[in-house]
Amino acid sequence: MFLPTDFSALLAHWEAQRPDAAAVSFGGRTRSWRALADRVRRIATAIRAAGLRPGDRVAVLDLNHPSCLELTLACAHAGTANAVVNFRLAPPEIAYVVNDAKARLLFVGPEFAGAVDKLRAQLPTVERVIPIGGEADAFEAWLAAHEPSAQAHPARPDDCFLQLYTSGTTGFPKGAMLTHRGMLAHSRHMAAHERMGPDARVQVAMPLFHVGGTSYALVAMLAGAHIHMMRTPDPAAALAMLEAERITHTFYVPALLAAMNQVPGAAARDYAALRSLLYGASPMPLPVMRASLRLFPGVMAQVYGMTEQCGVVSVLEAADHADPAVAHRLVSAGRPIAGCEIEVREPGTGRPVPTGEAGEIWVRSEQLMGGYWGQPAASAAVVSEDGWLRSGDGGHMDADGYVYVTDRIKDMIISGGENIYPAEIERVLAEHPAIQDVAVIGVPDERWGEVPRAVVVAANGATLDTADLLAWCRERLAGFKCPKAIELVAELPRNPTGKVLKRVLRQPYWEGRERRIV
């Protein structure tokens, strides 16, 4: 396998080896490796002409579009970094991410132009907003006005070229700095695991702000594969693409698989070209898993990972799904991939626990992020001096090396592949004048795996209206973070030190279920 030193060298390799082969298809247009390399180098020149220097950030707020991937590769060429913004965030959250990244250029898709216009005065570091697509498109003229950059920035292995944001326990997102070293290691390990090569046709359906989108696309690029990108993960369109384009590899979250199983005629299509369907990033309800295994027999494998490790760290293989003798493994996250070490440690002390005992899952690999942008204390809190990442996930490992993720150490909710920290929702609800106390928990949901539910106590003399509280949240939070229900109680259960006992609040909803977060 070709082993580049950075992503600029990777692009140059495939341009030289397969100049006229298809690299990326989107919206009825296909670009070759030569055309892709030309565009990336023009963008790198344009970034430099705008005055950006190595270490500076650009940001993208858009649904999936090849320009986002091109910008990531151009940043690798220019020494800058692309901060990809979660387009599902509410306007105040978008402003926070753009400002935290100190983005100097902001690239915006047509669906978000209005929101950015309203936020413009709140984005002091942004020097220029460049629309992508639609009637106001300025991106194509911007890159066409520049000659391709002849010289790539001499990238160091630990240079950040991609910044993806993950929610924080304090209620504010943190920018995980993903480096050439880390992302190349992940791409190398996953391309080898997936047996992905230049003959592969890879569907990129998940959002590019997520590692399941951009990281998966970069795996395909290392392999020299042909990427078929979707603007949104529409279930019917994704199924149609699998058949029409003879897709060989793809990645979905369980919520998308659940929707696919409901598409009329889904089982009548031809998916014979499919070699691998990875799924993960949120709980997989067993009814959805069984239906999906019937729809895609023999190709489904579960992945477990995190943004801070550039993506996947363990895989539950297709063979484990098919063997009834090991049916118990369907609730596991599989075994570590090549290059990754996984241990279960005691949360308080960090000491390894015996096989089979519960603790916090720790991961060590070359895939590790370069830290959280501008937050050295937060970085030090999750990465040990010898390179182990504290995942924040609770679980255990069996004698065969299979990892079981049973709970979140810090109560994080994973809904439809999105990470939701209760602290974010609690912070918003606590500001409501009629609320005295609040706790947010994850409760099971057949479509999304789990969804947030708020448990609130009214302030003295106040009358709570759940519709009003939900509207309050919708104005201040992304839709997927808003509680799906609000429960009114007289008081919250607490331990002697005053900490809310969320396990007591969760218990009635998870009774009789084996809670799994994968």
pLDDT digits (tens, 9 = 90+) for 65-123: 999 999 999 999 999 999 999 998 889 989 999 999 999 999 999 999 999 999 999 99
- Tell me the mean pLDDT in the region 387-394: 92
Q: How confident is the model at residue 4 (pLDDT cuts 50, 70, 90)?
A: confident
Beta strand ranges found along 205-257 (DSSP E): 226-229, 249-252
Q: What is the CA radius of gyration of the chain?
A: 23
CA distance 464 to 377: 39
CATH number for the domain formed by residue range(s) 420-510: 3.30.300.30
In this predicted model, what pLDDT tens digit does every residue of 408-433 receive, in sequence order? 676 778 888 887 878 779 888 988 98
Contacts of 144 (CB under 8 A, 6+ apart): 42
Q: Which residue has the higher pLDDT, 166 or 401?
A: 401
- Tell me the mean pLDDT in the region 307-335: 92
End-to-end CA distance of the chain: 30
Answer whether 1-179 and 420-510 agree in fold. Answer: no
Amino acid at 61: L
Domain boundaries, the chain: 1-179, 420-510
CA distance 271 to 297: 10
Among candidate residues 347, 385, 341, 345, the one with its CA nearest the CA of residue 367: 341
- Tell me the mean pLDDT in the region 248-257: 94
Query: For position 409, what pLDDT does the model report?
Result: 72
CB atoms within 10 A of CB 387: 12
| DSSP, res 232 | S
Report the residue count for the chain: 518
Query: For position 498, what pLDDT does the model report?
Result: 60
CA distance 385 to 389: 10
Q: Which residue has the higher pLDDT, 337 or 447?
A: 337
- Tell me the mean pLDDT in the region 13-24: 97
Answer whether 290's CB lies under 8 Å from 258's CB: no
Highest-confidence segment of 152-166, 399-413, 451-465: 152-166
In this predicted model, what pLDDT tens digit does every residue of 262-286 receive, in sequence order? 999 999 999 999 999 999 987 677 7
Q: Which residue has the higher pLDDT, 331 or 30?
A: 30
Beta strand ranges found along 268-417 (DSSP E): 276-280, 300-306, 311-316, 335-336, 340-345, 359-365, 389-397, 403-408, 413-415
Q: Tell me phi and psi for residue 132, to 5 degrees.
A: -115, 125
Query: For position 167, what pLDDT does the model report?
Result: 65
pLDDT at 326 over 90: no
Among candidate residues 107, 96, 95, the one with its CA nearest the CA of residue 58: 107
Q: How confident is the model at residue 254 (pLDDT cuts 50, 70, 90)?
A: confident
CB atoms within 10 A of CB 265: 8
* CATH tag for 1-179 (out of 1.10.10.10, 3.20.20.370, 3.40.50.12780, 3.20.20.70): 3.40.50.12780
Query: For position 426, what pLDDT does the model report?
Result: 87
Give the torsion through C-alpha atoms of 109, 111, 113, 119, to 10 deg. -110
Q: Which residue has the higher pLDDT, 254 or 58?
A: 58
Q: What percent of the chain has pLDDT over 90?
A: 76
Query: For position 518, what pLDDT does the model report?
Result: 35
79 by Cβ neighbours in 10 Å (0-12 / 13-18 / 19+) ranks as buried
Q: What percent of the chain has pLDDT over 70?
A: 96
Contacts of 64 (CB under 8 A, 6+ apart): 26, 204, 207, 208, 213, 229, 230, 231, 232
- When the pLDDT of each residue in the chain is averaged and rounded to a whole number, the result is 92
In this predicted model, what pLDDT tens digit does every residue of 119-150 receive, in sequence order? 999 999 999 999 999 999 999 999 999 999 98
Contacts of 1 (CB under 8 A, 6+ apart): 188, 191, 192, 222
